[in-house]
Amino acid sequence: MINNGLDMPQFINKLKKEDKKMLAVYNVIKILYLVLISFLFIEIAASIFSEGFSNTMLGSALTVLGVSLIYIYLNYRGKDYQNIDYSQTIYEMLRTTSERYKPFLTKDLLVLPGIILMGIGMGLNKDMGFAKYQLIFWSVMIIGALLGLIYWYFKWKPVKDNADMLLKEIES
């Protein structure tokens, strides 16, 4: 969505397509997290029956709690794409689009407790040692965040830039 003479109706049509894609991505990820939570509950039940209380059960419980917090965050954040009102004034729609397509929002910090609990819980379940697992887990998280930022730069930054440019045209 790079602006090469892009007019408002064209931008809104492309924006609607991008917003639908983002909503679909959030919905697929939420389903995957529900499946993961189900498997973790099964693991907890199996751990209780086979070992009683153990590090495996504690780790699984912390992982379930972390994954559940991430699921709640995904529901919360996905509403940004679910409740879009294209009938707003053009200025307001462009402003919310610019905000929605930022790489980081303050409300994205809500996912951190879930990630931390998930990392601790999964670390308790691994034979490689807690510290070694944490090093690997947080390395993967940082690499994933950097790859996500690169993806944002090429895929969604143009949407934000076009919204910002059209906002400046309206303001001037």
Pick the closest to residue 91 from 1, 5, 10, 168 (CA basis).
168
pLDDT at 170: 85
Q: What is the pLDDT of residues 83-121, one digit of tens each?
A: 888 888 888 989 999 999 999 899 999 999 999 999 999
Other Cβ atoms within 10 Å of 18 Cβ, number: 19
Structure tokens, 69: 């917090």
Q: Which of 85, 69, 89 is nearest to 77 (CA)?
A: 69
Structure tokens at 85: 């009102």
pLDDT 10s digits, 126-155: 777 888 889 999 999 999 999 999 999 998
Q: Name the residue ranges covered by the structural domains of the chain.
A: 8-171
Contact yes or no for 40/63 (Cβ under 8 A): yes
Q: Tell which residue, 100, 129, 28, has the closest CA to residue 71.
A: 28
* pTM, two decimal places: 0.82
In terms of phi and psi (left: phi > 0; alpha: psi -120 to 50; beta: otherwise), the region of 104 is beta
Residue type, 28: V
Question: pLDDT for 9-47, tens place per residue?
Answer: 888 888 889 899 989 999 999 999 999 999 888 888 887
Q: What is the dihedral angle through the alpha carbons of 146, 128, 61, 79, rounded to the nearest 10 degrees?
A: 10
Nearest-angstrom CA–CA distance, 126 and 122: 7
- Return the closest-CA partner of residue 78 out of 145, 19, 15: 19
